[in-house]
Structure 1
């Protein structure tokens, strides 16, 4: 068998994508410094300097680790390690998460367009009050420099309640953990919390007016925007 024939069954190995490369390096830092649960990672600026990339790129790698539960990002404190990770396992879960994101978006699109249409038709004064409270809560989070995850969750739950459809509510509950992944992924991007808050305001206005067509259009635009995440666009480093 010739040398060429000997490699005919192999395919070219894919180079790791940039976010995988950065996640690996951050995990190597954790291992090298024997960090354990509760340990603080260096600030984004320091990590960016050490890794030779922008702070925005480091931020996306940290968001990916947060989605997987490896770290918890606390406003004003930084990234706190949740457990001692295994690099191979984390990278495998990260690839699974990335491949699952488009399907999560598709599921949200199918469910939440129906939810918001029904909400515009069926909302009560009590429903509108809960929607307003969710908007106010998210606005407070964002004004304080946070990402608004809790307010975002409250808003979408308030819309679901306003649809007065128990089956849709159960379906949203079923995919809740996966929606949380996409929520953290989206709101972790620069400028996204403010944009999402504005989109929520437009959706709420349409629901309040009982304009189900406008409500559906605004929700569709919102979900398409939040599905535009760096994790799905990142390219392999040269």
Structure 2
């Protein structure tokens, strides 16, 4: 009788780091070597691209990845400001983990926000509409000034959630708030995306104002699908 060989542990394919992940890791390694502290400004994208031998688009993508995990903040007119001197290996792990989790976040967001948009069309009050309009105006003003409209975008989705008057769904959105903010930053950092996102908001708002529940759900679904097309989910 032949002896059965002991089961061998399976070997998983080794993931190849995306170029922007490598760039982000190199930037943080340089931050450590240069002794930068929170509040210090990083070199401009053009300078970083020249030093690293990559395109400005890749550097911009790396900075967005660093922003969503809290290593830097990108301010209009100020560039990237260091927030956390996270070590390069820890940063790379955080960026990779976020990219892996993003599809699940997008799926949950679509399910919750489409339902809430439909409820908002059925249940909204005049005060809810005023909050939605204020958010649209805030986002439009920020974009016109050269910003990405992140705060206005967040304000809009919060207003729609409130207008849905569903305490349980509202709490679920609250639980996802930090993860959604990360995907929001990524999306609104894409060239031309802020204005397209604002147009999607207007479509949702118009359906809510008209008490068109099916239209609100459809408009929100189209909006979330569009803004979920983010570079960090791609190789």
Q: What is the alpha-carbon root mean square deviation over aligned residues?
A: 1.5
Structure 1 residue 15 displacement after superposition: 2.9
The residue correspondences of 1:189-204 to structure 2 (distance < 5 A) are: 189-204=190-205
Q: Contact 2:32–2:87 (CA<8 Å) still a contact in 1?
A: no
Larger RCO, structure (CA 8 Å, separation 6 or more): 1
Counterpart position of 1:136? 137
1:76-122 alpha-carbon deviations (Å, 9 max, x no partner): 11111112221111111111101110010111111101100000111
2:86 is the alignment partner of 1:85: yes
Counterpart position of 2:3? none
TM-score w.r.t. the length of structure 2 is 0.92
Counterpart position of 2:206? 205
Q: Which runs of 5 or more structure 1 residues have no equivalent in the other structure? A: 1-8
SS of 1:175's partner is: helix
SS of 1:189's partner is: coil
1:177-196 alpha-carbon deviations (Å, 9 max, x no partner): 11111111111111111110
Aligned length: 227
CA–CA distance in 2 between the matches of 1:125 and 1:158?
12
Counterpart position of 1:219? 220
Structure 1 residue 72 displacement after superposition: 1.1
2:40 is the alignment partner of 1:39: yes
SS of 2:80's partner is: strand
CA–CA distance in 1 between the matches of 2:59 and 2:31?
15
Q: Which runs of 5 or more structure 2 residues have no equivalent in the other structure? A: 1-9
Counterpart position of 1:71? 72
The 3 A distance-change label for structure 1 pair 174 and 121 is same
